[in-house]
């Protein structure tokens, strides 16, 4: 089968297996806007599938070989779809060209002269959102594909009419190697997705390949603190731009101050020269670094300093990124997507800047491989809370064959001196929280699965 090559001037019928995913739905929306016929399937309905249907997509719930229509010119699928999927098998048997979500994203990016791809183990959605806010403030009419719901665009996708394109670049299964951006951003490189990568060196090698894929004349935005930065960037054709708290970085932050909500203000220094004061509306010191990366990319893309200041000051966060959910009985409820020890540490450090009586963390580990590989790191990171409550591991794409459990994680946290308890059901967790949380407490639900439901139910009367 030949690889399908997208051609915006010749729209055809494209079918998406798993169309309701945050990234798949965004790509489908772009093609719909370009006049393509879009069909798709998913296991359940969602606000994203509803929105696509409003735009003209035909979506079926449940996956069946009958969903592959004779008019289908190409089929798009994600890494979660395997050869035994009935639609995958039917398309292959019919000789229909097939391509991964990442390959389609890469082909779409090639249609935009001024593109930015945001990579990194942590912070991709937030930084993509920050850069998007800046380009919108600059009236640059960008096309945006973000891995979360961004309120300013009313969803996860915005289709613009300009040459500017901004997207996240996911490293899992080396998806980001399909991308050829003009501006490549690497926020950090950490050990994760160890069900695919062998180790940190393997991950670092993939990020290097991502950097090598930056277009001729393009730029790489990278942390000044990246271990062996000189070795990592040696021989790259891209212009290397560093960011960080170090004053030696090309883009640095100084005079950092935090308000009562842990949101930072800082002075931007570009090549050692003061270049304006910035105020963020999202909490945490890690967001200063995310903002610096977004500013550096925005400079390359031509956004004014005033637009950068306006865009960042208007960004109040994407869904599930230290998202305020409400208050009940004097207990403040926050929800956060953190599912890696580094992210957990950053989130709890941010929470510590918010005055509270007791800091509760209700954590749902995500995947057995990640939990087993980083078990001690999870325990150490979570021990920064005053009280920890563990839900069962969210399996996602995996099955339990590794002998790791949330109960074991709770025991390790307790051994470090922090009270940690495990409950097998959300109902038991909610009952425990209602009984134990008191006025002045801060409660954070945390994880990449469905743990947000615990906080939402806690807030109900």
- Range of the structural domain that residue 179 is part of: 112-314
307 and 403 in a single domain? The answer is no
380 within some domain: yes
1 within some domain: no
105 within some domain: no
Smallest CA-to-CA distance from 179 within 208, 214, 147 is with 214
Q: What is the CATH number of the domain that holds 354?
A: 3.90.190.20
Any alpha helices (H) in 66-222, and if so which ranges?
86-93, 101-109, 124-137, 200-212
Task: Enumerate the active-site residues.
Answer: 124-125, 168
Name the domain boundary from 314, 335, 365: 314
Does residue 382 contact residue 421 with C-beta atoms inside 8 Å? no
Question: Cα 370 to the chain's mean position, in Å?
Answer: 17
Q: What is the CATH number of the domain that holds 256?
A: 3.40.1190.10
328 and 285 in a single domain? The answer is no
Length of the chain as a residue count: 461
262 and 200 in a single domain? The answer is yes
CB proximity list for 437: less than 8 A, separation 6 or greater: 329, 331, 358, 360, 443, 458
233 and 360 in a single domain? The answer is no
Q: How many CA atoms lie within 13 A of 188 on its CB side?
A: 17
pLDDT at 402: 78
Does residue 330 contact residue 439 with C-beta atoms inside 8 Å? yes
Per the structure, how many domains does the chain have?
Answer: 3
Using a 10 angstrom Cβ sphere, with 0-12 exposed, 13-18 middle and 19 or more buried, the burial of residue 325 is middle
List the end-to-end C-alpha distance of the chain, in Å, as a whole number.
57
139 and 252 in a single domain? The answer is yes
94 within some domain: yes
pLDDT at 73: 95
How far apart, in whole angstroms, are the C-alpha atoms of residue 77 and residue 39? 12
33 and 155 in a single domain? The answer is no
pLDDT at 1: 42
Using a 10 angstrom Cβ sphere, with 0-12 exposed, 13-18 middle and 19 or more buried, the burial of residue 3 is exposed
How is residue 348 annotated by DSSP? H
116 and 71 in a single domain? The answer is no
How far apart, in whole angstroms, are the C-alpha atoms of residue 291 and residue 271? 16
Name the domain boundary from 270, 296, 314: 314
4 within some domain: no
pLDDT at 319: 75
44 and 135 in a single domain? The answer is no
Low-confidence stretches of the chain (pLDDT beneath 70): 1-3, 461
Q: What is the CATH number of the domain that holds 74?
A: 3.40.50.720
62 and 124 in a single domain? The answer is no
Q: What would the pLDDT profile of 406-425 be if each residue is shown by its tens digit?
A: 999 999 999 999 999 999 99
5 within some domain: no
Question: What share of the chain in percent tops pLDDT 70?
Answer: 99
Name the domain boundary from 56, 76, 99: 99
How is residue 20 annotated by DSSP? T
Cβ neighbours, 10 Å, residue 69: 12
334 and 377 in a single domain? The answer is yes
pLDDT at 220: 98
How is residue 274 annotated by DSSP? E
6 within some domain: no
308 and 332 in a single domain? The answer is no
289 and 227 in a single domain? The answer is yes
> 59 - beta bridge partners?
40
Any alpha helices (H) in 316-425, and if so which ranges?
341-352, 368-373, 375-382, 406-415
Tokens, residue 383 = 């021990």
237 within some domain: yes
């Amino acid at each position: 089968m030949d690889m399908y090559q997208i051609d915006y001037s010749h729209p055809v019928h494209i079918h998406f297996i798993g169309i309701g995913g945050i990234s798949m739905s965004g790509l489908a929306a772009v093609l719909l806007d370009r006049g393509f016929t879009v069909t798709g399937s998913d296991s359940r309905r969602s606000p994203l599938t509803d929105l696509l249907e409003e735009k003209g997509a035909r979506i079926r719930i449940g996956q069946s070989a009958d969903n592959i229509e004779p008019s289908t010119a190409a089929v798009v699928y994600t890494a979660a779809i395997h050869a035994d999927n009935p639609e995958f098998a039917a398309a292959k048997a019919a000789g229909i060209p097939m391509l991964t979500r990442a390959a389609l994203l890469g082909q779409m990016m090639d249609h935009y002269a001024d593109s930015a791809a945001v990579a990194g183990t942590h912070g991709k959605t937030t930084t993509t959102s920050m850069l998007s806010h800046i380009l919108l403030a600059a009236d640059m009419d960008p096309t945006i594909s973000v891995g979360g719901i961004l309120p300013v665009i009313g969803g996860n996708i915005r289709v613009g009419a300009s040459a500017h394109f901004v997207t996240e670049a996911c490293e899992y299964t080396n998806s980001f190697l399909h991308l050829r951006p003009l501006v490549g951003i690497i926020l950090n490189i950490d050990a994760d997705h160890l069900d695919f990568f062998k180790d940190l060196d393997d991950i670092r090698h993939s990020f290097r390949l991502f950097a090598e894929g930056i277009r001729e004349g393009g730029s790489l935005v990278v942390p000044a603190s990246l271990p062996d930065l000189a070795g990592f960037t040696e021989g790259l054709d891209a212009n290397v731009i560093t960011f960080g708290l170090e004053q030696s970085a090309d883009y640095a932050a100084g005079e950092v101050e935090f308000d009562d909500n842990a949101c930072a203000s800082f002075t931007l220094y570009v090549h050692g020269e003061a270049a304006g004061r910035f105020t963020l509306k999202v909490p945490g010191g890690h967001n200063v670094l995310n903002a610096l990366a977004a500013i550096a990319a925005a400079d390359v893309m031509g956004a004014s300093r005033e637009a950068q200041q306006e865009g960042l000051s208007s960004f109040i966060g994407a869904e599930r990124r230290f998202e305020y959910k409400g208050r009940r009985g004097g207990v403040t409820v926050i929800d956060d997507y953190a599912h890696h020890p580094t992210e957990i540490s950053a989130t709890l450090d941010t929470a510590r800047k918010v005055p509270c009586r007791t800091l509760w963390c209700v954590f749902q580990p995500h995947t057995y491989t990640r939990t087993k590989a980083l078990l001690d790191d999870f325990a150490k990171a979570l021990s920064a809370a005053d009280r920890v409550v563990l839900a069962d591991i969210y399996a996602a794409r995996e099955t339990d064959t590794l002998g790791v459990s949330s109960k074991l994680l709770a025991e390790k946290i307790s051994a470090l001196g922090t009270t940690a308890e495990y409950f097998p059901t959300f109902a038991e967790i909610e009952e425990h929280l209602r009984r134990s949380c008191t006025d002045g407490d801060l409660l954070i639900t945390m994880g990449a699965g469905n743990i947000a439901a615990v906080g939402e139910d806690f807030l109900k009367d």
